[in-house]
Structure 1
Amino acid sequence: MLISNFDFDLPEDRIALRPAEPREAARLLRVDAEGALTDSHIGDMADYLHAGDLLVVNDTRVLPTQLDGQRIREDSMVNIEATLVKSTGATQWQAFLKPGRKVRPGDKLQFKNDAAKLNAIVSAKDDNGLYTLDFQHGPQELLERLHIVGGMPLPPYIRSKRHEDEQDKSDYQTIFARDEGSVAAPTAGLHFTPALLEKLTAKGVGIERITLHVGAGTFLPVKVEDTDDHVMHAEFGVITPESAERINAVRASGGRIICVGTTSLRLLESACDPQGTIHPFAAETAIFITPGVKVRSCDLLMTNFHLPKSTLFMLVCALAGTDVMKKAYAHAIDTGYRFFSYGDACLLTNVS
């Protein structure tokens, strides 16, 4: 399939720079099995779910991997912005550096604020523009200093308009976050609050936590013209035996599985057999879900509005139908829905 089939025009003012306040005040576009569209709000979700349904959420926690510092040489010093994207060792990370042309292997980097500093040496650069940084600290010290020095790794479409700040340290973390390891938030989960969870629990809706550590590949543009040529990024995920058993039990009893976010869906699909049974899982997944692929693991998907020509927009087209999703996105744009990580959401019915 051509990547251009998943393009659409999105006005700049539809990109949300801050989340709704309170979070469940965000809008929710419901898309049913026939493609009918209903405007609603996140706070009304309990009205659309049934007792015995199960929300499957991603409990990954975002690391503060956005760093500002300097490249230090004997003869010069240059300001450098680093976004850590993948841990490749106890004290080693792959990172995007800006401006990358000012850095070469062997350079020393220092990131600091008034409370702490991080020192690293650039050891390599690959063909995709990723640099390997060897931090000059032990594993525990590195993590502790990262939490002091680092900022939240907001996606490029937000960072191009404003810098991350203290508010993002809470805004860009879901209520479910507990297992640290992501460099991007599972953004559908950002909409949930204790009050909303109380309403869902009172309705008889269950919550099941699984873990997929979200990588920066979520935001990387698709650079090929055909989906067959795209190589998905790999992300590490875990579904415990207990979680798999509970999810399967809900389906066996007639309850519906509602994935909160594409990360939850991708992990369930990675652990799902052809009969729709979920198995325990602890591995990296690079699953790529495009139209024509049957989604077997869930009945509904709650997700934010995604970038044009992105793998995530392809995923929702696979789940709900390409024509339906193009119609839904056109409606969302025309009626002022807010897009991307801090934006509004839709609740989609699986018709694949």
Structure 2
Amino acid sequence: MDIKDFDFDLPERLIAQTPLTDRTSSRLLILDREKQTMDHKHFSNIIDYLEPGDCLVLNDTRVLPARLYGSKEDTGGKVEVLLLHQQEGDIWEVLVKPAKRIKEGTVITFGDGKLTATCIDVQEHGGRILRFDYQGIFLEVLNELGEMPLPPYIKEQLPDKERYQTVYAKEEGSAAAPTAGLHFTRELLQQIQDKGVELAFITLHVGLGTFRPVSVDSIEEHDMHAELYHMTQETAEQLNKVKEQGGRIISVGTTSTRTLETIARDHDGELVAASGWTDIFIYPPYTFKAIDGLITNFHLPKSTLIMLVSAFAGQSFVLDAYREAVKQEYRFFSFGDAMFIK
């Protein structure tokens, strides 16, 4: 398929720069795949579309304050470092700016020496491998010195770091939030459970590749980024039981979807305990093996995320929905509004 098949006009003013005070007050576009209808609601209404016996699958990854500002030890030159993922111990794959200044052996200091990093490898794609040195606990040092790695299309500062975390975030390791989950409050989740809807948790650590544009005309030629995932035996048994009893598995976000579909693809449609790296690229046509419904935000034109949503609901229906959302001035991207596809 051609990349142009997933394009739409998006006024820049509709890109949400700040989160709403009340997470559940976001707007919610309901897409019915069978009836091909659209309804305009608010996110607090999501409970009306969930049935007893259904199960929401939530990604419990927690975003690291992964953006660090430091300086070269020898020259004092300013350096920005973005943590991508931990390779082992105190060794991390990172992106650096300006990259040309950071060569093998370069030492970078942060926070008046509270944290230092030595470049031990320069990678082909431009990334760097850094070894960090510090006193105490790395995550505590990072929480003190680091900033939230907000997507490049968000220009505003975020005073409250927790607003870029889901309320159920637990497993440290993401470079970006699983944003469909940002609309839930603890109170709404409790109301959903009280209705007889189950909650299941998986982990996929979101990489910055999720923001990487597709740079080829034919989407089949796009190389998907890989992300680390994990699903426990307990969760696998829970989801299989839901399916056996006729309930729907409703994925919260594209990250949960990619995890579930990876596991189902690799195990003949079964959901089992599994961990590993996934580079699954879902685009039309694709037969979904795990999910029955999807809660998701509004994504970038020509992105791999809108391709995934198009595979689930149909490319023309999704593009029509996006044009309707623009017409109705929905808020887009990480801090924007949501849709529920059933």
TM over 0.5: yes
Partners in 1 of 2:84 and 2:217 — Cα distance?
A: 25
Partners in 1 of 2:126 and 2:336 — Cα distance?
A: 29
SS in 2 for 1:46: helix
SS in 2 for 1:314: helix
1:304–1:339 CA contact under 8 A, matched in 2: yes
Partners in 2 of 1:327 and 1:314 — Cα distance?
A: 14
**How many angstroms does 1:329 deviate by?**
0.6
Q: Specify which of 283, 287, 293 is matched with residue 290 of structure 1.
A: 283
Partners in 1 of 2:126 and 2:30 — Cα distance?
A: 39
Equivalences for residues 93-104 of structure 1 within 5 A: 93-104=92-103
2:28–2:340 CA contact under 8 A, matched in 1: yes
Partners in 1 of 2:11 and 2:81 — Cα distance?
A: 28
Partner letter of residue 318 of structure 1?
A
Partners in 1 of 2:83 and 2:301 — Cα distance?
A: 24
- When structure 1 is superposed on structure 2, of 97-106 and 178-187 the one drifting more is 97-106
SS in 1 for 2:283: coil
Match of 1:250 in 2: 242
Partners in 2 of 1:334 and 1:55 — Cα distance?
A: 30
Match of 2:319 in 1: 326
Partners in 1 of 2:156 and 2:23 — Cα distance?
A: 20
Q: Specify which of 166, 170, 173 is matched with residue 178 of structure 1.
A: 170
Whether 1:119 and 2:125 are equivalent positions in the alignment is no
Deviations 1:150-171 (CA, angstroms, capped at 9, x unpaired): 111111111xx234x441x110
**How many angstroms does 1:202 deviate by?**
2.2
Match of 2:148 in 1: 152
| RMSD (CA atoms) | 1.7
Partner letter of residue 101 of structure 2?
K
**How many angstroms does 1:23 deviate by?**
0.0
Identity %: 45
- When structure 1 is superposed on structure 2, of 100-109 and 235-244 the one drifting more is 100-109
Partner letter of residue 244 of structure 2?
A
Partner letter of residue 5 of structure 2?
N
Whether 1:214 and 2:206 are equivalent positions in the alignment is yes
Partners in 1 of 2:302 and 2:104 — Cα distance?
A: 33
2:18–2:156 CA contact under 8 A, matched in 1: no
Which runs of no fewer than 5 residues in structure 2 stay unpaired? Answer: none
Q: TM-score, normalised by structure 2?
A: 0.95
2:206–2:255 CA contact under 8 A, matched in 1: yes
SS in 2 for 1:330: helix
Whether 1:203 and 2:203 are equivalent positions in the alignment is no
Partner letter of residue 156 of structure 2?
R
Deviations 1:63-118 (CA, angstroms, capped at 9, x unpaired): 11111111232xx32111111112122111122222223333322111217xx721
Match of 1:259 in 2: 251
**How many angstroms does 1:201 deviate by?**
1.6
Match of 1:28 in 2: 28
Partner letter of residue 212 of structure 2?
L
Partner letter of residue 244 of structure 1?
A
Match of 2:5 in 1: 5
Match of 1:162 in 2: 156
**How many angstroms does 1:4 deviate by?**
2.4
2:85–2:173 CA contact under 8 A, matched in 1: no
1:91–1:137 CA contact under 8 A, matched in 2: no
1:25–1:41 CA contact under 8 A, matched in 2: yes
Q: TM-score, normalised by structure 1?
A: 0.92
Partners in 2 of 1:21 and 1:297 — Cα distance?
A: 34
Partners in 1 of 2:64 and 2:229 — Cα distance?
A: 16
**How many angstroms does 1:236 deviate by?**
1.3
**How many angstroms does 1:275 deviate by?**
6.2
Partners in 2 of 1:8 and 1:171 — Cα distance?
A: 29
SS in 1 for 2:336: coil
Partner letter of residue 130 of structure 1?
G
**How many angstroms does 1:285 deviate by?**
1.1
Match of 1:315 in 2: 308
**How many angstroms does 1:305 deviate by?**
0.7
